Amino acid sequence: MSNGILYVVATPIGHLDDLSVRARTVLSSVSLIAAEDTRHSAKLLNTIGCQTPMLSLHEHNEQHRTVELLSRLQSGIDIALISDAGTPLISDPGYGLVRELVAQGIRIIPIPGACAAIAALSVSGLPTARFIFEGFPGAKPNKRRERLRELVSEPRTMVFYEAPHRCQETLVDMVAIFGADRRVALCRELTKLHETCYYETLGELLRRAEQDPDLSRGEIVLVVAGAPEKPNKTIDIEAERLLFALLEELPASQAAKLTAKILGSNRGELYEMAVKHKAETQ
């Protein structure tokens, strides 16, 4: 008997019409749906008239559910995985299951659809060619700040999820670490009745959050501009070698001037490097 298939099915993040026709078909045709919260998903399944049995798969039971689901797939039945909203595995359970099924050679088919991160990025007005997804920056202030500090020079657009009650404190940390002038898009309640997007600087957004309690209600994605790219250093190894040799006999300014004259490198950068080298070697 051949193995069954796991379908990883995206569900709406608000607007029910965002459940694709293909997702409906799959949810109704599989033998079992593994859902993050079966009571929550029952509402969605009821609205589409789907009667497929469900079992729960969440962060506290994922390990033993993986064993169980693997054996059911090996017995030939098809299963769908859904989470409470959006794409499973994206800040949601399912990674442990999918990793194990990949290792066991089980076929996994994505049924793509809503994802808050991608929806927010697509309307953020920030560069989309290269971006990183950071998920939730963390509930503990020290850990959160440490993570944000690691991102201070990140040039790509950054996408964060945040719980509404933590939005303001995260903005305080972002202003302190990324600077008040960084551009940001805050996307709230996407696809829902009160959908709102603010496009401003982190400083402006923090002032807004302090004055408007509504900003901290509902579901939120923060899309933050990457750090401005630093110009590439133009000094190559050859220039560095010559500069360091000259520095053994000459003061920094003369060594930099001569190296620049001989090799045509940037004198200012050479001087900066010379001063640093002298300080390190004296």
Residue ranges binding ligand SAM (CB under 6 A): 13-14, 83, 85-87, 90-92, 115-117, 161-163, 187, 189-192, 219-221
- How many angstroms separate the CA atoms of 3 and 74, rounded? 5
State the nearest-atom distance from the C-beta of 79 to ligand SAM, in Å: 18
Nearer to ligand SAM among residue 222 and residue 243 (C-beta):
222
State the nearest-atom distance from the C-beta of 91 to ligand SAM, in Å: 4
Chain residue whose CB lies nearest ligand SAM: 86
State the nearest-atom distance from the C-beta of 238 to ligand SAM, in Å: 50
Closest listed residue to residue 72, CA positions, set 61, 60, 80: 80
Nearer to ligand SAM among residue 85 and residue 273 (C-beta):
85
Output the CA torsion sign for 119, 124, 125, 127: negative
Nearer to ligand SAM among residue 205 and residue 255 (C-beta):
205
Nearer to ligand SAM among residue 86 and residue 226 (C-beta):
86
Nearer to ligand SAM among residue 181 and residue 212 (C-beta):
212
State the nearest-atom distance from the C-beta of 164 to ligand SAM, in Å: 8
State the nearest-atom distance from the C-beta of 255 to ligand SAM, in Å: 54
State the nearest-atom distance from the C-beta of 267 to ligand SAM, in Å: 49
Nearer to ligand SAM among residue 44 and residue 246 (C-beta):
44
